[in-house]
Amino acid sequence: MRNKILSISVFLFFSIVFVIFFKGLKETNIYTPDLDIKKEIPFFHAKDFYTGKKLNTSDIFKLNQTYLLNIWSSWCVPCRKEHPLLLSLNENKKINIIGMNYKDNKINAEKFLKELGNPYKRVFEDLEGTIAIEWGAYGVPETFLIYNNKIIRKYIGPLNLNIIEEIKLLIK
């Protein structure tokens, strides 16, 4: 009798393990940390891209304003693709687009903006990629929507038309 109970419970246990593994297979295994939605923007120091002046968070981001922080680089191919979208979004006067130039070479970056146009109200440098880490970014391109010094949305990877529509809706 004891043996029977034992055997049945062992079979049952392994059946449960099977079901859990089976379900586990269907789920994505990409571990994304929880999105820091509505989090305060981090405090940081940076250099202005054109003037070389030292900046900090409060110089760039003001309360009661909407900002779009875009992390970009001249060597990043998807950045080139999303660039026209940023230019078109720039026509909307309600939003201020800020660029974070990530691990880039200054000459190439300037050439990039000259060739494709400059949608940014302000660009600052992040040569070592440390500021991007403070923002919790994974790489380039990445875009943050900011209102009232809080991160409203975070878009990993290049922007597309759907995202642009969503941003336009949000800033209304």
Are 103 and 128 a contacting pair, CB within 8 Å? yes
The correct pick among 24, 43, 64, 94 for binding other proteins (CB under 8 A) is 24
Q: Does 5 bind other proteins (CB under 8 A)?
A: no
Residue 144 CB neighbours (<10 A): 21
Question: Mask of contacts with other proteins, 57-86, x by CB under 8 A?
Answer: ------------------------------
Radius of gyration of the chain (CA): 23
Number of chain residues interacting with other proteins (CB under 8 A): 24
Question: Which residue stretch of 49-57, 60-68, 102-110, 154-162 sits at the interface with other proteins (rule: CB under 8 A)?
Answer: 102-110
The correct pick among 128, 133, 156, 165 for binding other proteins (CB under 8 A) is 128
Q: Of how many residues is the chain composed?
A: 172
The correct pick among 55, 116, 127, 164 for binding other proteins (CB under 8 A) is 127
Q: Which residues fall within 8 angstroms of residue 144, CB to CB, at 6 or more apart?
A: 41, 68, 69, 135, 151, 153, 154, 155
